[in-house]
Structure 1
Amino acid sequence: MHVSLNVILAEDDKDYQDIFNNALEEVNIPTTLTVVSDGYELMKTLRSPDAPNYNIVILDINMPKKNGIECLKEIRKDQTLSNTYSVILTSSQDPIIKESAYQAGANLFLTKPINFHEYVETVRTILTSDWRMNLPIFF
């Protein structure tokens, strides 16, 4: 049986979209990736009747139309989405933003790495985390 994770990435920066996709290929874990460019598009995609059951939602903080924290709060309030494993992947290292993310319901908060090798390991961490858990994971 072929099993694949369904992952949705909400990232407005095309370069980071490409880096994530390239890192995903390096990790070599069967994954179906959906990429959206803003928070509004994310929520629309997640709520679509045609949407697969996403195992992992990866959100940038700073996105147009709706930021990652706003989306995360909506995800946690929505009965059909509330248990979705949600990861904040951002360039911010601000501890206040990190705390806000966890208060909004993030399962995992990671800072975008500087080099590609570290980015590959970050993607591996996201995909191999126990995403069935509802507790925050701190790194």
Structure 2
Amino acid sequence: MGVEITIFIADDDQDDRYFLIQALSALNDQLKYIEVPDGTVLIRELKSKEHWDQTLVIVDMNMPRLNGLDTVKQIRLDDKLDNIPILMMSTSSDEWLVGKARNAGITKFSIKPSTFEDFLDLAKQICSEFDIPINKK
């Protein structure tokens, strides 16, 4: 077995977390997922991890307690977490918000899917963009 890839999914919408995990699992059944409802819990979970070389963070822009933008800023301020790739999702494609997210340090931005087919398309993009092997057809 290869190196374990851990994907942290920070989204207050449990259904969106579920569909994203299902879509990614349809392509690779060896990924590890850590689901969290907001940025505060995400940062705590990231800081408790010892190795981040095979880690991806997927964060929703709009969450309670600590929103996606502030979460990304805090991650980028931590030298141990600074190199983790971050995909931000949002239902909004407002260029001003996307620009703020890029300035905060995201690696990639995506519109949040609304159908399972869209989640599958996003999962394929994630695997391609972040070098996650596809081991299922």
| TM-score bin (small chain) | 0.7 to 0.9
Describe the shift of the 1:29–1:90 C-alpha distance in structure 2 as closer, same or farther (beyond 3 A).
Answer: farther
- Name the counterpart of 1:70: 70
* Root mean square deviation, CA, Å: 1.6
Q: Which has the higher contact order (CA 8 A, sep 6+)?
A: 2
Contact 1:88 1:109 in 2 (8 A): yes
Q: Hey, which bits of structure 1, 4+ residues long, moved more than 4 A?
A: none
**Deviation, structure 1 residue 31:** 1.0
Describe the shift of the 1:78–1:120 C-alpha distance in structure 2 as closer, same or farther (beyond 3 A).
Answer: same
Q: Residue type of the partner of 1:19?
A: F
- Please say if 1:6 is aligned against 2:45: no
**Deviation, structure 1 residue 99:** 0.5
Q: Deviations over 1:56-99 (max 9, x none)?
A: 10000111110011010111110000000011012111111111
Partner of 1:34, secondary structure, is strand
- Name the counterpart of 1:27: 27
**Of 116-125 and 96-105, the range deviating more from structure 2:** 116-125
- Please say if 1:82 is aligned against 2:82: yes
- Name the counterpart of 1:135: none
Distance 2:74 2:118 in 1: 30
Q: Deviations over 1:91-132 (max 9, x none)?
A: 11111111110000011000012221121110221132146x
Q: Residue type of the partner of 2:95?
A: P
Partner of 2:97, secondary structure, is helix
Q: Residue type of the partner of 1:11?
A: D
**Deviation, structure 1 residue 25:** 1.8
Partner of 1:33, secondary structure, is strand
Distance 2:51 2:92 in 1: 30
Extract unaligned runs of 5+ from structure 2.
132-137
Describe the shift of the 1:25–1:130 C-alpha distance in structure 2 as closer, same or farther (beyond 3 A).
Answer: closer
**Deviation, structure 1 residue 52:** 4.8
- Name the counterpart of 1:112: 112
Q: Residue type of the partner of 2:72?
A: L
Distance 1:32 1:98 in 2: 28
Extract unaligned runs of 5+ from structure 1.
132-139
Distance 1:51 1:10 in 2: 19
